[in-house]
Copies of this chain bind each other. A is one copy, B any other.
Amino acid sequence: MLLKLLALCLFTFLIYVPIAEARIRHYKWEVKYEYKSPDCYKKLVITINGKSPGPTILAQEGDTVIVEVTNKLLLENLAIHWHGIRQIGTPWSDGTEGVTQCPVVPGDTFKYQFKVDRAGTYLYYAHYGMQRESGLYGSIRVSVRDNFTEPFAYDYDRSIILTDWYHNSTYEQATGLSSKPFVWVGEPQSLLIQGKGKFNCSSSSLTAGTCNTSNSECSPYAITVIPGKTYRLRVASLTALSALSFQIEGHNMTVVEADGHYVEPFVVKNLFIYSGETYSVLIKADQDPSRNYWMTTSVVSRNSTTPQGLAFLNYYPNHPRRSPPTVAPAGPIWNDRAPRLNQSQAIKAHHDFIVTPPTTSDRVIVFLNTQNEINGYRHWSVNNVSFTLPHTPYLIALKKKLHHVFSQTPPPEGYDSVNYDIYNVSKNPNATTSNAIYRLGFNTTVDIILQNANTMNVNDSETHPWHLHGHDFWVLGYGKGKFDMNKDPKNYNLVNPIMKNTVPLHPYGWTAIRFKADNPGAWLFHCHIEAHFYLGMGVVFEEGIDKVGELPSSIMGCGPARNPPVQSNLQPQTQSHMSLDATDKPSSIMGCGETKGFDKP
């Protein structure tokens, strides 16, 4: 009888327990230029299926996401990165032009395919030159597995992305940055909340029709809330330049998630957020329901001319476009660093979700962050090496052993920390450019110490948000001034450090992180400020390249393997119907693989 009952129980269990079956989330995107007015100023914007921000990818932990992207950008290529997705087993789907793939040319369709193996808040965006700034970005929201209970409760789930917005094109910006003398892109014209801002059209002399504040495309973004309910608001930043503070008038925010990891909850009035970071905050609609409230974002860490970005927290059933009766509250003082450092230090792993880091590391690399000049060109550098991308993506070069396509001289493990003055302008006369990479022992534990310093301007040190592809890392600590290798590691948080994929390096400070080099591939680690990475502020890590599976041919199609060297002994031919193709035959370089060759028929 007992056995029978047990069998029945088991049977019931087998029937009723939902099976967590992973699904395929299949998207088809067409990417093109369209005229849009996100901040009332009309300019070319890169859209996905007609929208910027693009569609939100909704998936469940364990699902496979397939995105087929068709490039309709006229003359321009693209690549799309899936920020926070570790691409375990699919390093070729990381979408990092020059690192994991050649760019996708116009007319082509590229298929990204990867598993979203952990619930959380992630992002996608163009990762090709400074293309992200043109509007190709969006959210990835991965829900938890069935029957999994998150360590906090809420009624509804909402996402917003904060961005800054330039009126000139990425071509104009990039051309200025790589000019001699350097032409700085300047401060952004607007801050956008979920793709909407409001430029003061009367502030500059504009051609009629270019700027129109009554355009519905730039009506303020509104999140509608039902009084009494609790909202999970997923806030992400994808600014090109700006560090931000985000606040909701009259409402506290409880931080519960950071970069896909549960946070030991803490309450903020201002959420400081850096480009590449994502947070979930809980807000309760517990204020006077007869009105709407401001949601604002403003620039911190730079003395910016960019006005704050505005949106509405709309209490149902008020009209979502009804302006709050108050003046939008100002953000925090831009140059008050203490609360920003405090917030960084306040973020710990939730006590039920601690992933304990290894107590020691196998390798410690120190990255001095400097701005410098090399041959008259402005650069950003790491240990005075300004990073340049090779023409052949590292993943292909490494896997195919094309060692000639990038420098094999190992980049420096640190800098002259005894003598370097981080508080003053340094000439850094030994600064160079290089495309060399850091090769990490597979499954080793690596510590990175990010060390900030003065820029090329007196009394100036910037905030750099560093993003690591293919991994999460433990945030071991933050500090002021120069990192002390003897003293500071003793204060590392090895008990409940948060794991993240993006971390700020505060002005004149240091940030220490630790990660396991356990994901075969080639992975970028870089400052998430578009112009900074464009000017060389990044490095590439290789680990376990021999464990990477066969590369799909779709990622290939660029680099020197396509072009045999010119043969200097070429003789002119005199027949009128000469055939010159012999000189274009694959040379010895191409013997080890042609990125574009047809197989011989």
Residues of A within 8 A of B (CB): 21-24, 26, 33-35, 44, 62-64, 66, 68, 74-78, 88-90, 92-93, 102-103, 105-111, 113-115, 117, 128-129, 131, 169-172, 174-176, 179, 204-207, 389, 391, 400, 549-554, 556-560, 562-564, 566, 570, 572-581, 583-586, 590, 593-599, 601
Contact = CB atoms under 8 A, between A and B. Distances in A.
Given A44-B171, A63-B572, A204-B207, A596 B553 contact: yes
A180 to B, nearest CB: 11
A115 B77 contact: no
A207 to B, nearest CB: 7
A572 B113 contact: no
A598 B111 contact: no
A392 to B, nearest CB: 9
A279 B550 CA distance: 56
Given A44-B175, A557-B562, A75 B580 contact: no
Contacts of A103: 75, 105-106
Number of copies: 2
A53 to B, nearest CB: 19
A106 B89 contact: no
Contact of A76 (B21, B76, B93, B564): B76
Given A558-B108, A584-B552, A584-B554, A33 B115 contact: no
Contacts of A169: 169, 171
Contact of A75 (B128, B554, B556, B585): B128
Contacts of A564: 554
Nearest to A66: B566
Contacts of A78: 75
A434 to B, nearest CB: 16
Contacts of A207: 204-205
Given A64-B573, A572-B24, A574-B62, A171 B552 contact: no
B595 A90 contact: no
B117 A170 contact: no
A105 B105 contact: yes
DSSP class of A's interface residues: helix, strand, loop or mixed?
A: loop
Nearest to A550: B581
Contacts of A597: 553, 556, 597, 599
Closest 7 CB pairs of A and B: A552-B584, A553-B597, A107-B391, A593-B598, A205-B205, A22-B572, A557-B557
Contact of A89 (B68, B176, B553, B579): B579
B601 A593 contact: yes
Contacts of A400: 598, 601
A576 B171 contact: no
A75 B74 contact: no
B596 A596 contact: yes
B599 A593 contact: yes
A88 B563 contact: no
A179 B47 CA distance: 14
A480 to B, nearest CB: 38
A553 B590 contact: yes
Nearest to A126: B75
Contact of A102 (B105, B174, B563): B105
Contacts of A599: 593-594, 597, 599
A497 to B, nearest CB: 22
Contacts of A93: 580
A347 to B, nearest CB: 26
Contact of A557 (B105, B560, B577): B105
20 contacts: A24-B572, A34-B175, A64-B572, A64-B573, A66-B566, A74-B174, A75-B78, A75-B129, A88-B576, A88-B577, A88-B578, A102-B596, A111-B584, A113-B580, A169-B171, A205-B205, A553-B562, A556-B596, A557-B596, A596-B596
Contacts of A601: 400, 593
A576 B64 CA distance: 11
Given A63-B572, A105-B102, A557-B105, A579 B113 contact: no
A129 B77 CA distance: 13
Given A64-B573, A75-B129, 13 more contacts: A74-B174, A75-B78, A75-B103, A89-B576, A89-B579, A90-B581, A111-B563, A111-B584, A400-B598, A553-B586, A556-B597, A557-B596, A595-B598
Nearest to A33: B175
Contacts of A579: 89-90, 549
B22 A113 contact: no
A355 to B, nearest CB: 15
A158 B172 CA distance: 34
Contacts of A34: 175, 179
Given A554-B562, A557-B105, A597-B556, A89 B24 contact: no
Contacts of A109: 560, 563
A105 B171 CA distance: 15
B566 A68 contact: yes
Given A171-B33, A596-B556, A597-B556, A106 B88 contact: no
A491 B112 CA distance: 61
A90 B580 contact: yes
Nearest to A561: B598
